[in-house]
Amino acid sequence: MRTTCISEWPARRADRLIGVVINERTEYQGTAVETEFIPALEALGIRALGVVPEDRKLVSSTIDQIVEHLDGRYLEGSEYGDRIIEHFLVGGMGLDSGTLYFGIREDKAVIVRGDRPDIQMAALHTRHPA
């Protein structure tokens, strides 16, 4: 059986629904989940059993997986293929040098045009470049 609205769950699954676990709550959703979503569930008679915060490592890919998905190949650094990439940063979008922007995240991959060596160098001068 498919339901499209959470408000139908208690009526259709009352005998089997103990409650729900809210999964992958990002740090930005914290307040809304606690003050809006959980009270809305409880108003429907649905118990919130817990909230599991998002863990970027669980939803991230390795460099090898990205290379395979893109049907790419390594020019250098294939020994780092098992490193996890948690963030993708796009270079060349701002007017700054890029060092501050690329420095805010670790375990990142940088996407930048080939004709922007200034942005490429800024990315390479930060910690954990990929």
Would 129 be classed as within a structural domain?
no
| 3 pLDDT tier (thresholds 50, 70, 90) | very low
Among 2-6, 8-12, 108-112, 120-124, the minimum mean pLDDT is found in 2-6
Chosen domain end from 54, 70, 93? 54
Residue 69 domain boundaries? 60-124
Judge whether residue 7 has pLDDT over 90: no
Are residues 95 and 79 part of one domain? Answer: yes
Burial string for 48-82 (b: 16+ CB within 10 Å, else e) reads beebeeeeeeeeeeebeebeeeeeeeeeeeeeeee
Would 47 be classed as within a structural domain?
yes
Q: 42-98 pLDDT, tens per residue?
A: 888 888 998 888 888 888 999 999 999 999 999 999 999 999 998 898 987 666 777
